[in-house]
């Protein structure tokens, strides 16, 4: 099992999860984070830290897409090791549907 970041992180990008990850498996895009599924040790400490409830175990139905999505972008984006402020309109976008079509960016973040 692994944990993955799902659509609700897009346009929010809370980084509370980064602080608790013992293996530094989070990677930063311009407007979301991903988890490298091959680096995640399945400890689960990140899941309750996400204010947007965007981190899910890969054992939930429909997570196959998100496992591959997280793998793809974790291999392209820089690792993130520190907590940052969420995006300015994070609260407004939390829970909004179809965020992947509306807001997703393939651009990398700046890491830290």
- List pLDDT tens digits, range 61-80: 999 999 999 999 999 999 99
Domain assignment of residue 107, yes or no:
no
Domain assignment of residue 33, yes or no:
yes
User: Domain of 49: which CATH number?
Assistant: 3.30.70.20
- Report the chain's mean pLDDT, rounded to a whole number: 96
Domain assignment of residue 91, yes or no:
no
Interatomic CA distance for residues 25 and 7, integer angstroms: 18
Task: Indicate whether this model's pTM tops 0.85.
Answer: yes
Assign 1 a pLDDT band (cuts: 50, 70, 90).
confident
Domain assignment of residue 101, yes or no:
no
Domain assignment of residue 18, yes or no:
yes
**Could you report how far apart the first and last alpha carbons of the chain are, in Å?**
27
Domain of 64, in residue numbers? 3-83
**Cα separations (Å) of 35 from 1, 2, 24, 89, 92?**
13, 9, 9, 22, 24
Strands 3-5 and 26-28: unpaired
Q: Which region holds residue 11: left if phi is over 0, alpha if psi is between -120 and 50, else beta? A: left
Domain count, the chain: 1
The encoded tokens of residue 63 equal 């997570």
pLDDT in tens, 52-61: 999 999 999 9
């Amino acid at each position: 099992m692994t944990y993955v970041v799902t659509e609700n992180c897009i346009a929010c990008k809370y980084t509370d999860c980064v602080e608790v990850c013992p293996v530094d498996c989070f990677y930063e895009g311009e407007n979301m984070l991903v988890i490298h599924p091959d680096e995640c040790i399945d400890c689960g400490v990140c899941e309750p830290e996400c204010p947007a409830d965007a981190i899910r175990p890969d054992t939930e139905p429909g997570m196959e897409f998100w496992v591959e999505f997280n793998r793809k972008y974790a291999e392209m984006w820089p690792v993130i090791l520190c907590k940052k402020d969420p995006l300015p309109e994070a609260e407004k976008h939390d829970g909004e549907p179809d965020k992947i079509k509306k807001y997703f960016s393939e651009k990398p973040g700046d890491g830290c």
